[in-house]
Amino acid sequence: MNNIKNLKLEVPKLIDQLKKDLISKVKNSYAPYSNFHVVAALITKNNIYFGVNVENRSFGLTNCAERSAIFSAISNGDTDFVSIFIYSPDYDEPIPPCGACRQVISEFSKDLPIVMLSKDFDYEITTIDKLLPKDSLNKLNEKMN
């Protein structure tokens, strides 16, 4: 929870720094079926990785913005995640990650601060433990290790 306490002070400044890129990069989203465009900014200790949602006619093959950003960081050997920001110009409320993204986030960080932004850049901060309570897969993995 310390990560969130520390981040709360920085979020307004980080939003100001990220806003231009979020607005610009969300235009790269490929969402011809839902017209629901999302961008995520994964901040690591060394970099910022952006990802957008990429839909497919076979909806199960769609990739969300959060996973795109995480996979980009991992592809570049960067796993020191600090926080992730999620933004959609099409969503009035702060936008939460979907279930698949929650599972992927939990694979790499239990306490990663998740900053969910509304289209007007209002925000909520949470962690995966709050969004994915009683994660049985993680408990099973802990027992196996």
Residue 66 bears catalytic tag: yes
Q: How many CB atoms lie within 10 A of CB 37?
A: 21
Contact between 126 and 117 (Cβ < 8 Å): no
Q: Any bridge partners for residue 85, and if so which?
A: 41, 115
Quote the distance between the C-alpha of residue 79 and its chain's center: 14
Catalytic residue among 10, 66, 93, 124: 66
| Per-residue buried b or exposed e for 87-106, using 16+ beta carbons within 10 Å of the residue's own CB | bbbebeebbbbbeebbbbbb
DSSP state of 77: T
Which sequence positions are flagged as catalytic? Answer: 66
